[in-house]
Structure 1
Amino acid sequence: MKKLVLIVVIPQVLGCSSGSPLKEKNADNGATVVSYPARPVIKYKDNGDDTGDGDFALSIVAISETDTIITYKALSTSENGNLGLALDIPKKDGERGFGQSILLKSIGSESDNFIRFMTKVYNQKLDSSIHFFNKTLSVAYVNLNTFAGALGANNQYDTAVNEYKLFFEGPNKDDYAELYLNINKREKIIEFKEKDQEYRPQLIKFFRE
């Protein structure tokens, strides 16, 4: 099991108030928004192999729902400023858990910091012109929990964690990357886990403007 290493060390840790909402309110579209405190970004410890060394997690600070979508706002503190993004997750998947559109959305300067943080974690060259995409990024996916259930592996996974594999595809055959996205509803964190280090340059490209 991987150990957690916090980039910023402060007294508040994952277990303190992750399950306690700060407040609830109604959004403009009628959805109920539940908010939580921002906590430090988590960088998982290098495990010595070629997978997982770029894994990290952000805290969930807001959750809102409509009839078809759950929107998560992920925001964490770091020594270089806050970083985060928003995600629209469909409530209903396609056959065997496959779907066409999880939306990754900018929340402003915090998302610029997100791509800079990812660039550093992935040991890529930091271009001063790099920013987070200024439009919504839509990616195909498979809900691994639903997929496992379709194969008969019911109750073999943690129901408090929704696990997805994201498929990033561009117009060229080399414009392709995969990334694991885990939404931990118990700990109120969203994990970004590598499928393979060879996808790092392409992932940075997809997240750029």
Structure 2
Amino acid sequence: MSRKGSFSLLVAAVVSAMSGMALASSVRGKISGQEKLLPDVYAEASKPDSHRFTWREPSPVVRAEFRSLTANPSRDVCIAAFASGNQPPHPPILVKVTGGHTNPTTLVVAPGTRISFENLDPFPHRLFVVGNEAWKAEDMAAGGRREWTAAQAGRVEFRDQLFPSVRMYIVVDPQVVDVAFPARDGSYALNLPAGDFVLKAFFNGRQVGRALSVSSKEKGNLDLKEPLNVGEGGG
């Protein structure tokens, strides 16, 4: 194929991708109540029989709302949009393992989606799926990766044999269209085609708060006035 022909195909592909994007609108909203969410690993570490002790002296210059251990929305809360029919697998997703946790810690995907775990720490990790011998603990060296593909619908829990603070949940649902992770101020945005959808928030691998029904348009943005209160039913 000539250079001119290759360039024409590249332009056609770019135009096709942009046309597909034009059919989607940005659904923008916010969450509330995130200060009430406490990750499982924090709750377990606070128990005396866990033998995980820390010493902290509150600083008077730090505001009270920043002194308590709560969820980090951009890592721990996943907003998922669901359609009425089954969806194809999502593009491959990278999950980073570093700093005593995964990023993200909760994820919602359609069956067939491939997840790639990458170790960004200078020491090894040994991830495994709870109750699944097919994906058991194996050494993942610094800079190394392990692959996992979502199969059937359900809730899958990942842990680390070496670091008990590393815990991740993946919810597999055939009707999930897109997901988003809120910013520090609670804002999030989803790219959805025209149609009716249900938004749900997930934390610790479970739905928190009430579902929110939305109708996206073919063009333009949709700003939601009602926040998703993730503090209802969270824990």
- TM-score grouping bracket, smaller chain normalisation: under 0.3
Radius of gyration: which is bigger? 2
- Report which structure shows greater RCO (CA 8 Å, sep ≥6): 2
What's the TM-score once normalised by structure 2's chain length?
0.24
